[in-house]
Amino acid sequence: MSLLNEVWQAVKAIGTGMATVHKRVYEEAPTEFYPYVELDLPPVSVQSLALVENEDGTERCIVCLQCERACPSQVISIERHRNPEGKGFLIDRFDIDLVNCMYCSACVEACPVSSIVTIQDFELSTYDLHTLKADIDFLHEQARRSKKWYSPKLGVEIRTEDGRIEKAPPEMQPGGLAELLKPAAEEEES
Amino acid sequence: MSSTIGLEPVLGRSDEMIVNMGPQHPATHGVLRVVIGLEGERITRAVPHIGYLHRNHEKIEESRTYFQVVPFTDRMDYVSGTQNELPVVLAVEDLAGIEVPERAKMIRTMFFELFRIASHLVWMGTAMLDLGAITPFLYTFWDREIILGIVERTAGARMLPNYYTFGGVRRDLHPHFFKDVAEFLDHLEKRMPDYEHLVLENPIVHARTVGVGVLSKERAVARGVSGPVLRASGVAYDVRKAFPYDAYPEVEFEIPTSDAGDTYARFWVRFQEIYQSVKILRQLLEKTPKTGPFKGRAPARLKISGERYRAVENSRGELGVYVVGDGGDKPYRIKHRGAAFSNLQVIPDLFIGAKFSDAIAILSSLDPVFGEIDR
Amino acid sequence: MSLIPIPEDRRFKIKLIGYDPGRSRPWLERFVYSLYVVAFWLFVIATYAGVPALFDWLGWDGGWGYVVMRALQVVMLFLLSAVIALMLILALRKYLGKVQERYGPMHYGPAGGIQTVFDALKLLGKEDFVPAAADWLTFRLAPAVTFVSSFAIFAVVPFASGWTLADSNVGLIYLIAVSTLSAYGVLLGGASSGNKWALIGALRAGAQMVSYEVPLALVFLSVAVWSGSMSLGKIVDAQLGVWNVIPLFIPFVLYVISSLAELKHIPFDFPEAESELIAGYNVEYSGMSFAFFFLAEFVELFLLPALIVVFFFGGWHGPLFGLEPGTLAAGALQSLYFSVKTAVWVWIFLWIRATLPRYRDDQLMEFAWKAMIPLALLGLVLAAYMRLIWR
């Protein structure tokens, strides 16, 4: 009798398994149709690096070399010279070897002026690795092309339709919950 | 042909066939190579070879500053993301005396447990793939995808987020984090019965795993295994309970153990751990303040002297790190104690005498990740 | 710009946004796949009714004319088996896709409908490589043996009343002989590859064959005892009233299990076992030789469910709506019933493949010898008693 029971249990378990599997036929597959549909990546997502300019086209970067020092993979190499007309430095060369970069965003953490930022453009795949040695023009181009970027000091910034740079709404910001909860708390107090 | 390193054919034994399982073999989870002596289907000898994914982690980390070490540790156990960063972070915090805010500890623990679920889901899929069932693999990967999405929205990357830092975490939570995690936990609790039907209750899985690859309590302790493999052999050792870190003292959970020590017990323990992780996450969702500090004050340049061993319980067992600082801003020595590496030591014990098909099941129950084993 | 400027059109998403590869057009999917079914049905009708009618009309129905007619039917069946393979591979991939919450092939042809045609063409275009360590002749012969032995089952399968190549009165014995041969193909192919994994696969195929052949033969015997004939046509005829699955339930279950083993299908796919033996016996095969193993596998995936239908589910029996048996319309309708029943069983096999993990080969042997053979004997005895009592 126990043998029969065992067989019955086994048959029942296989049947349950098969029912479990077949149930999924009627569910919509969660596949993302990536090349056909643009992916909506979160604004903090680290897919590539860019060098942001100010709204008036001047350089944000003060060439302090912090990112070069912070980089664990040592892929950033910068050359600079003293600004003959004023304070600070000017960029001679700003190269990032995106092939060896491991996208840890340590450079972004280190940047004091939020010039180097992380962006969501991941479509840099190429047949030729040399094209991934990003120079300053390329990094500027990357920033110009992107609509939103992230740096820890200034949070998520967005580029508006008319080319201005603004701070993103709190729903997009890390820790934006504090700001979102504030009105509710104030209402409760009053 | 030098294909039998470590396992030379025995003269006069023509009934033994020596085969290389790996390094390119679908069931070796990457790049393990086991030279196996086969007598028909029975394994007579087994010599594992590792190192095909060696990237010199420890030496590279010794030439980097403490801040730069953390992203490298991510690359070890690439299935369980932030879990790798924690030992280094804890050790350096101890040595430098950095204070961690309560909320940061809770955030860390939440990510730790999210990645434990993610890792166990990957294990479930690949183990069933090794046993021949393709479908659970796709299901578990879809569910893991949700976790990775949650992680990406906060930490910025999916698998290798580089999220923990000395004194807390790198950035605050995404505004929808609590809602996302709560939704995911509800979803997972709906899915878990499906996985039970497909894996634990399946009579063929029973036939393949019950009584197969029995690891006795004594042998498990002697070989230094940890994590689910050790707990399946009846030793209730869990770093989270034995040497609590982060927010673990504040949450309630159990250590699932089994006395059987066989492959099925290891499967079962991992399933129970997912339930325990869900329990921990639910408690933390309640306890964690919605807003507040996520990072303590850490000096911009760390100069450390002294030495420290810190361990965490990652998805595979005790992941430890031994940091020696000589007063400079770079570690003098870093030694990682890999959980999967230690668990792999039982391969000859379990393989010899087993059937070849059993070897595949046993290997999948050990859940090795070669990024961490080869380092 | 960078050292080598990145062209703007490399941003491939811009070009393709808005193109829908077919996920939202299920009607198209159904239409394309029903074309395969119609092609299959037309092939069956043309083979079994069209070719004899053609030869009748030409007046070549005696002597050599008969031989030529049969040869033409065999050629038609070969084409039919290609259609079946293309159809079933597509069905397998689509069904596994649906079960696994993905879409399966959807790019080549409408809704992925001609993906398998391109796969077949790709295999044809590949180099047919013979490894240096292989035994050339055996290595070359093995795929042919495997395919021919699967294909030969077609000879006795009745698609409708009278629609069979050879309604032999030793049909069951022929089936046993032929299905044993297919294990030989795997054995030879694996053993001659000069590869250890292939050798283990071949040994497993041999071990598996000795486990499932005996209960299979006993099941055939029970069917023969109950139906009173070894001819497949007569077995189907005998099921006019009640399908054999009711009186012969135990042999039916055993036959399904042995069919799975004979197919090398998921709970029993030890000779192939991609997670254990990489690809088992066909690890060294490429190009056309591999395609023949593949073709054989999928032809068997059609034929063994078809035999389940013949033995236990009343073959081509079904309501004829007043049509005269023996006419073209009745034959077409009967072959449709037969095909639908077979399709249901193919689906069950695919479903099993989607759900279950792999058994272990020694466990199959144990199961076959300790459980299946006693049960098959029991089934045989019961069949004999029932025959004595009720017929």
Residue C355 has its nearest CB partner, among A21, A128, A138, at A21
Q: Does C361 touch chain B (CB under 8 A)?
A: yes
- Say whether pLDDT at C377 is over 50: yes
Distance of alpha carbon C328 from alpha carbon C53, whole angstroms: 10
- Residue at B82 is within a domain: yes
CA torsion angle C268 C344 C79 C202 (round to 10):
0
C-beta of residue B240 within 8 angstroms of C-beta of residue B232: no
CA distance B197 to chain A (A): 5
- The lowest-confidence range among A54-58, A107-111, B241-245, C330-334 is A54-58
Q: If pLDDT is split at 50, 70 and 90, which confidence band does B81 have?
A: confident
For chain C, the average pLDDT equals 83
Give the chain B residue nearest C203 (alpha carbons): B40
Q: If pLDDT is split at 50, 70 and 90, which confidence band does A28 have?
A: confident
| B260's tokens | 């059987």
pLDDT of res. B297? 83
Q: Which residue bears the tokens 């870190």? A: B245
Q: If pLDDT is split at 50, 70 and 90, which confidence band does B12 have?
A: low
- Tell me the domain boundaries of chain C: 24-125, 132-390
Count the Cβ atoms, other than its own, within 10 Å of residue C86.
22
- Say whether pLDDT at B39 is over 50: yes
| C27's tokens | 């009607």
pLDDT of res. C20? 54
- pLDDT tens, position by position, A81-99: 888 887 888 888 888 888 8
- Say whether pLDDT at C380 is over 80: yes
Q: Which residues of B touch A174 (CB under 8 A)?
A: 154, 171-174
- Say whether pLDDT at A32 is over 80: no
- Residue at B209 is within a domain: yes
Q: If pLDDT is split at 50, 70 and 90, which confidence band does B280 have?
A: very high
- The lowest-confidence range among B212-216, B296-300, C321-325 is C321-325
Q: Which residues of A touch C95 (CB under 8 A)?
A: 25
Q: If pLDDT is split at 50, 70 and 90, which confidence band does B278 have?
A: very high
Q: If pLDDT is split at 50, 70 and 90, which confidence band does C123 have?
A: confident
Q: If pLDDT is split at 50, 70 and 90, which confidence band does C69 have?
A: confident
Q: Which residues of A touch B70 (CB under 8 A)?
A: 104
Q: Which residue bears the tokens 């990032």? A: A96
Q: Which of C209, C81, C233, C213 is nearest to C154 (CA)?
A: C81
For chain B, the average pLDDT equals 87
Check B207 against C360: CB less than 8 A apart: yes
Mean pLDDT score, C19-36: 69
C-beta of residue C39 within 8 angstroms of C-beta of residue C83: yes
Distance of alpha carbon B332 from alpha carbon B328, whole angstroms: 8
Q: In what order do the strands lie in the sheet with B331-337?
A: B305-314, B317-326, B331-337
Residue A180 has its nearest CB partner, among B72, B139, B175, at B175
Q: If pLDDT is split at 50, 70 and 90, which confidence band does C346 have?
A: very high
Q: What percent of chain C has pLDDT over 70?
A: 93
Q: If pLDDT is split at 50, 70 and 90, which confidence band does B42 have?
A: confident
- Residue at B368 is within a domain: no
Q: Which residues of A touch B173 (CB under 8 A)?
A: 174-175, 177
What interface predicted TM-score (ipTM) does this complex get? Answer: 0.84
Q: Which residues are A59's β-sheet partners?
A: A53
Check A21 against C351: CB less than 8 A apart: yes
- Say whether pLDDT at B2 is over 50: no
Instruction: Please indicate whether residue C341 or residue C327 has the higher confidence score (pLDDT).
Output: C341
pLDDT of res. C6? 46
pLDDT of res. B36? 87
- pLDDT tens, position by position, C246-256: 888 889 999 99
Q: If pLDDT is split at 50, 70 and 90, which confidence band does C348 have?
A: very high
Q: If pLDDT is split at 50, 70 and 90, which confidence band does B8 have?
A: low
Q: Please give the tally of structural domains in chain B.
A: 1
Residue B171 has its nearest CB partner, among A14, A174, A181, at A174
Q: Which of A85, A49, A88, A48 is nearest to A65 (CA)?
A: A88
Mean pLDDT score, A110-125: 85
Q: What percent of chain B has pLDDT over 90?
A: 16
pLDDT of res. C245? 83
Q: If pLDDT is split at 50, 70 and 90, which confidence band does B5 have?
A: low
Check B356 against C276: CB less than 8 A apart: yes
Check C96 against B198: CB less than 8 A apart: no
Interface test with C, best of A12, A16, A20, A25 (most C CBs within 10 A): A25
- pLDDT tens, position by position, B220-232: 899 889 889 999 9
* CATH number of the domain within which B291 lies: 1.10.645.10
From chain B, which residues contact C within 8 Å (Cβ)? Answer: 17, 19, 25-27, 38, 40-41, 128-135, 138-139, 142, 198, 202, 204-205, 207-208, 355-358, 360
pLDDT of res. C335? 87
C-beta of residue B258 within 8 angstroms of C-beta of residue B231: yes
Distance of alpha carbon A68 from alpha carbon A45, whole angstroms: 21
- The lowest-confidence range among B34-48, B178-192, C23-37, C299-313 is C23-37
Mean pLDDT score, B361-372: 88
Q: What residues have CB less than 8 Å from C264, skipping those under 6 apart?
A: C186, C205, C208, C270, C271, C272, C297
pLDDT of res. B345? 86
| B65's tokens | 């500053």
pLDDT of res. C3? 42
- Residue at B370 is within a domain: no
- pLDDT tens, position by position, B120-153: 999 999 999 888 888 899 899 988 989 998 998 8
| Residue type at position B119 | S
Q: What percent of chain A has pLDDT over 90?
A: 0
Distance of alpha carbon B367 from alpha carbon B342, whole angstroms: 12
- Say whether pLDDT at C2 is over 50: no
pLDDT of res. A190? 57
Mean pLDDT score, A158-187: 77
Mean pLDDT score, C360-367: 86
Check A103 against B145: CB less than 8 A apart: no
CA distance B127 to chain C (A): 10
pLDDT of res. B269? 92
Give the chain B residue nearest A173 (alpha carbons): B174
Instruction: Give me the helices (H) in C63-169, please.
Output: 64-99, 115-125, 136-151
Mean pLDDT score, C223-245: 85
Q: Which residues of A touch B176 (CB under 8 A)?
A: 171
- Say whether pLDDT at B85 is over 70: yes
- pLDDT tens, position by position, B285-343: 998 888 888 888 888 788 888 888 999 998 888 989 999 988 888 889 899 988 888 88
- Say whether pLDDT at A175 is over 80: no
Q: Which residues of C touch B132 (CB under 8 A)?
A: 266-267, 269, 273, 275, 356-358
Distances (CA, A) of B288 to B212, B252, B282, B285, B326: 43, 15, 10, 6, 37
Q: Which residues of A touch C18 (CB under 8 A)?
A: 36
3-state helix, strand, coil in chain C (%, to 5): 70, 0, 30
Q: Does A106 touch chain B (CB under 8 A)?
A: yes
- Residue at B172 is within a domain: yes
* CA angle, residues C105, C106, C111, in degrees to nearest 5: 120
Distance of alpha carbon C18 from alpha carbon C7, whole angstroms: 22
Q: Does C54 touch chain B (CB under 8 A)?
A: no
- Residue at B51 is within a domain: no
Instruction: Please indicate whether residue A24 or residue A129 has the higher confidence score (pLDDT).
Output: A24
pLDDT of res. B274? 92
Check B41 against C361: CB less than 8 A apart: yes
Check A24 against C12: CB less than 8 A apart: no
For chain A, the average pLDDT equals 83
Mean pLDDT score, C10-35: 59
How far apart are the two ends of chain C, measured CA to CA in Å? 91
Count the Cβ atoms, other than its own, within 10 Å of residue C83.
17
Check C275 against B27: CB less than 8 A apart: yes
